Copies of this chain bind each other. A is one copy, B any other.
Amino acid sequence: MNSHKYELQVEDFLCFGLYSTSNAMNKIYIPLLKGLNLTYAQYLVMTVLWQGDALLVKEIGQRLHLESNTLTPLLKRLEAAGLIERRRSEEDERKVLIWLTEAGRELQEQARCVPEEVMKATGLEERDIMELNSKLQTLRQALDRSRQEG
């Protein structure tokens, strides 16, 4: 056993607040998305595509801050589920375009109630959510910048 003195407690780490709250949020989504047969990451990808499809893997990655090592297998699962199509660009064979299928488009209706359920679970009002989200985005940008420099 240590004498605690001035040791930092894990609960005081901002990283831990982020980590544990992000995990908790994920757990909120799991039952909400179960009926749609989507994981949380898949739901984020679908949300991006519902805003506008015919996107490159790289473009989805830029929106979600993910790369092909994460996205390629995830997109293959969405394709296997019949929600998207992956098609090589004909002008540039390096590029893979992601299109929604009709089923993928229809899923948007079923998913419409999800954000409200999540908002209820947070116990926060919209303006508090926006404020917190804004702080998180700023923090993420700082972390990305620091990583780019260092």
Contact = CB atoms under 8 A, between A and B. Distances in A.
Interface of A: 1-2, 4, 7-29, 31, 40, 44, 47-48, 50-54, 63-65, 115, 118, 120-124, 129-130, 132-133, 135-137, 139-140, 142-147, 150
B18 A18 contact: yes
A27 B65 CA distance: 12
B121 A4 contact: no
Contact of A129 (B7, B10, B14, B132): B14
A22 B18 contact: yes
Given A21-B18, A24-B144, A147-B28, A51 B133 contact: no
B28 A146 contact: yes
